[in-house]
Amino acid sequence: MDMEVVGRAISTLPADDDHPYRTGAWRPQTTEWDAPDLELVAGEIPTDLDGVYLRNTENPVRPSIGRYHPFDGDAMVHLVGFRDGKAFYRNRFVRTDGLRAEEEAGHALWAGISERPSKSLREDGWGARGRMKDASSTDVVVHAGTAITSFYQCGDLYRMDPLTLEDQGKANWHGKFPSEAGVSAHPKVDENTGEMLFFNYGTDAPYMHYGVVDPDNRLVHYVDIELPGPRLPHDMSYTENYAILNDFPLFWDENILRGGGYAARFHPHLPTRIGVIPRRGASHEIRWFEAAPTYVLHWANAYEDGDEIVLDGYFQDNPEPQAPVDASYYERLSRFLSLDNMQTYLHRWRLNLRTGQVSEQRLSDRISEFPMINGRRSGRRHRYTYAATGAPGVFLLDGLVKHDTETGKEEQYRFDDGVFGSETAMAPSVGSAAEDDGYLITLTTDVANDRSECLIFDAANVTVGPIARLRLPERIASGTHSTWAAGANIPNWRTADTMTSALGL
């Protein structure tokens, strides 16, 4: 395999590290690579697979002050590009302000999610919690031809070229970026309109804002969303005409918050509230629908069906798992990270815009999470959801499942023992018409064999396993969120000199 080292980070993690989210499948990667022609281990790369798979990664260079949480890791984006039956790979750290400052200092400057922000050595932190490092290591999307990374508890959006991963600085939105509040983990890009919808949240009233960025990177809509108090929303959804926000009964304990601490508590006596607002609606136009108490980390999709909005996501039967009294810190940490502890099930809410009533339906009895769909169906009626299954007791993804929400049929594929995957993106094949005419792509970390691969599945036939396997230059750290961008939506994708360099031709 032709490959080149283009950069290395200097890690200050301890040589005898035993943290479960910095070792094993979570062992950090410090090398940046260019591999213009990936080694094909098995199968063939489909010639109608055209575009890039991007995955963000919590990949620590420094351990953070105090207790380390996996979400504290520095962002690293992995890219696998496909064109004409060939594939190339590159990975780069996201050059956040926090990463640059800690590189200059040579040590950690901020406390992590599991600590009080007051332990940070710097006061100029980011996030809904304040005084924490904006690692930008949560999600990655492509908007207006640019790859954008985001942070778990609000922050800046960092921009990269989706073909070369060249650093393009922070999102500015022609001077209108909400620098005081930032953007939360999961901005949503509507492939049909080119718009990006987002929200943010914090500890001061009105506690949430909602906004829209147009295809020219202009902030064209931004309104307050009043909540009863500080909340912990993580994701949002949308339809052709509405944005969908939320107020779940899992949120910061306000007594602890007043003392400068942050601890999430579940309040089962309170309902789930789902907010529906016109995509360019005013603050007073939001309508709140009440449903069974739970927490939803990730939504799959939403669409309009007559008088109703159909909303699919992952209902948690146990939003606040309890650890044994004698549990270690690591065991207490993992209880909020493993899918089997939280008991996450694909679920459907129907919000009746005429009557205000809500009906609910469990769509699967299989624990899974991290849903993806064919992006062309986002905000429109969909049939298939592709999700990940989780290894028991830890934050690792051990397989994938395809849900047919019309028939209830499920197809599952489990990775080999000791192999863990990423959020699986759906890549429609060039010229496809059917919803599942395309490919599923994920990156795996094989601890036992000390290697990583890119796997390609036929989206219409998941159970047969990968139709192609590609070897990456080295074993990468476990990670979660990903996206797919078609070549047609990437600047310079078909420019000969750019693709010659990218593919090593």
CATH number, position 426? 2.120.10.30
Domain assignment of residue 340, given as a range:
2-503
- pLDDT of amino acid 1: 66
Tokens of 379: 């905000």
Q: Which amino acid is at 40?
A: L
Q: Look at residue 496 and tell me whether its pLDDT is greater than 60.
A: no
Tokens of 315: 């209902």
pLDDT band at 129 (very low <50, low <70, confident <90, very high): confident
Q: Which helix or strand (DSSP H or E) is residue 278 part of? A: strand 272-278
Bigger pLDDT: 333 or 386? 386
Mean pLDDT check: name the lowest of 149-153, 458-462, 482-486, 492-496.
492-496
Tokens of 23: 């070792």
- pLDDT of amino acid 63: 87
Contact call for residues 250 and 234 (beta carbons, < 8 A): no
pLDDT digits (tens, 9 = 90+) for 468-486: 999 999 999 999 999 999 9
Tokens of 357: 């009533």
Contact call for residues 79 and 454 (beta carbons, < 8 A): no
**Phi then psi dihedrals of residue 81, to 5 deg:** -105, 145
Bigger pLDDT: 77 or 337? 77
Mean pLDDT of 479-501: 84
Mean pLDDT of 322-336: 82
- pLDDT of amino acid 119: 93
Q: How far is CA 125 from CA 97, 119, 129, 155, 176, in A?
A: 10, 12, 9, 9, 20
Q: Look at residue 295 and tell me whether its pLDDT is greater than 80.
A: yes
Bigger pLDDT: 499 or 455? 455
Report the number of distinct structural domains present in the chain.
1
pLDDT digits (tens, 9 = 90+) for 226-249: 999 999 999 999 999 999 999 999
Mean pLDDT of 145-151: 97
d(CA 272, CA 278): 20
- pLDDT of amino acid 488: 93
Task: State the greatest distance between any 2 C-alpha atoms of the chain, in Å, as a whole number.
Answer: 62
Mean pLDDT of 365-377: 98
- The H-assigned helical ranges of 335-375 are 339-342
Bigger pLDDT: 497 or 69? 69
